[in-house]
Structure formats: C-alpha cells, structure tokens
Amino acid sequence: MKKNWWKIAAVVLVLYSIIAGFLLKVPVLPILHETIRNLYFHVTMWFSMIILLFVSVWNSVRYLSGFNSKYDIVAKEAVHISIVFGLCGLATGMLWANYTWGEPWPNDPKLNGVAIAMLFYFAYLVLRNSIDEEQKRARIAAIYNIFAFVMFIVFTMILPRMTDSLHPGNGGNPGFGKYEDIDNNMRMVFYPAIIGWTLIGTWIMQLGIRYHKLNTIIHSNKN
C-alpha cells in the first residue's frame, strides 16, 4: 500500500479533472464557449506525452552510457505509452478544431509537426523490430531515439512559432493566460489533470516493463 499511493493519486486526480472539468464554471469566450473544457483533456495529453518522451530519451542516454538493458526497456515502454497519448491528443484536438476552427484538420504547422512526430516514433518501433540481436537493437534504437527527440522538439516547438498558426502562443498569437482566458478556476483543474494523466502513463509503463521482465524469465526458463 505504501508503494502504491501514487496509483491512487493518479486515479483520484484524473477522476477529479473529469468531474470538475465538466462541472466547474469556465470563462465565457466567443467562438470557444463551452469547448474550452477540452483544454483539460487535449492539452494534458500533449503535456503527458512530452514528459514521457523525455523520460524515454533520458533512459536512452543512460543506456548508452552504461549499456544496461534495463534502461532500454524503460525507453521502449515510455515510447509506447507516449504514442497512445499522442493519438489521444490528436483525436481530442481534431474534435476541438472541428467546432472552433471549422474543420478537423486545418492546415496548421503544429498539426503537421505533430503528425510528423508520430511518424518518427512509428519509425522507431519499426526500427526496433527490424533488428534481431538484443544488444544491437537496444543500442541503435537508443541512438535513433535521441536523434528523433531533438528533431521532435525543433519541429513542434521552434518551427510552428515561426509561421502563422491557429494555436495560441504561436506565430504572434497570444498564449493562453495573456488574455484572461484561463482563470484560476481553470488552473485548479488543468494542473492536477496533467499530473494525473502523467501518473496514469507511468503506471501503464510500469506494467509494460513488468510484463517484459516476466516474459524474459519465462523464456530463459524454457531454454
């Protein structure tokens, strides 16, 4: 129980963000109206994804500095769950865009950047599966992961800021918070939601790592 408190916290925080997200008062803004509640789901997905991708790349660096296969498994599982978060982020974003910008996929640099980032990580999985030898797979995947993460940051954080984007905070658009569109009421839900979803991601990641460990034990017993 002592070790599992954070899992309870994860569930409580996510439940809180869903319930409070739909019930609490939100600022009344033109165009956005009630869709502003999607902030609690859409933006949190991206935050959790980036945090988990950072965990992944950190573990890849650690793998390269000591060649301990433990870190490679963490890196792989973190990418798996980041891809799930990324797809959820895309789905919620498309829903939101449909109601505020008029179409599910407006030609926006941030959308295109993220679609390319998803391709990066799908390519990472293909790369992993195309190498049989375990040590070699771990090493090459770690190298590609570091490469991909740096490029991902450039393409989703720097490039969209240079061009016109529909997203707040890009291309001269003011970020959230500059106008009083996020009030403190919303922050009370938004920040816990990020923590909650990241913890949920960590939990799923941990289950994946355990599954992997058990699998290797079973296989080594068979031989």
Partner 1 sequence: MKLIHEIKHLIHKEFLLEFRQKYAFAGVLLYVFSTVFICYLSFKKILVPANWNALFWIIVLFAAINAIAKSFLQENKGRQLYYYTLHSPVAVIVSKIIYNSILMLALSFLCFFCYGLLIKNNVQDIPFFILNIALGSLGFASVLTMVSAIASKTNNNFSLMAILSFPMLVPMLITLIKTSKYSVDGLDRSLSYPYFGVLLLINVLIIVLSVVLFPYLWRE
Q: Is 173 in the site for partner 1 (CB under 8 A)?
A: no
Q: Does 166 bind partner 1 (CB under 8 A)?
A: no
The only residue of 12, 24, 158, 214 in contact with partner 1, by rule CB under 8 A: 158
Q: Which is nearer to partner 1, 160 or 196 (CB)?
A: 160
Site string for partner 1, 127-156 (x = CB under 8 A): x--xxx---x--xx-xxx-xxx-xx--xx-
Shortest distance in whole angstroms from residue 10 CB to partner 1: 31
Q: Of 40 and 124, which has the nearer Cβ to partner 1?
A: 124
Q: Which is nearer to partner 1, 141 or 194 (CB)?
A: 141
DSSP the chain: --TTHHHHHHHHHHHHHHHHHHHS-----TTTGGGGGGHHHHHHHHHHHHHHHHHHHHHHHHHHHH--HHHHHHHHHHHHHHHHHHHHHHHHHHHHHHHHTSSSS---HHHHHHHHHHHHHHHHHHHHHT--SHHHHHHHHHHHHHHHHHHHHIIIIIHHHHS--SSTTSTTPPPTTTSTTS-HHHHHHHHHHHHHHHHHHHHHHHHHHHHHHHHHHHHHHH-
What's the closest the beta carbon of residue 124 comes to partner 1, in angstroms? 9
**C-beta closer to partner 1: residue 13 or 53:** 53
Residue 123 touching partner 1 (CB under 8 A): yes
Interface ranges with partner 1 (CB under 8 A)? 64, 112-113, 116-117, 119-120, 123, 126-127, 130-132, 136, 139-140, 142-144, 146-148, 150-151, 154-155, 158-159, 162-163
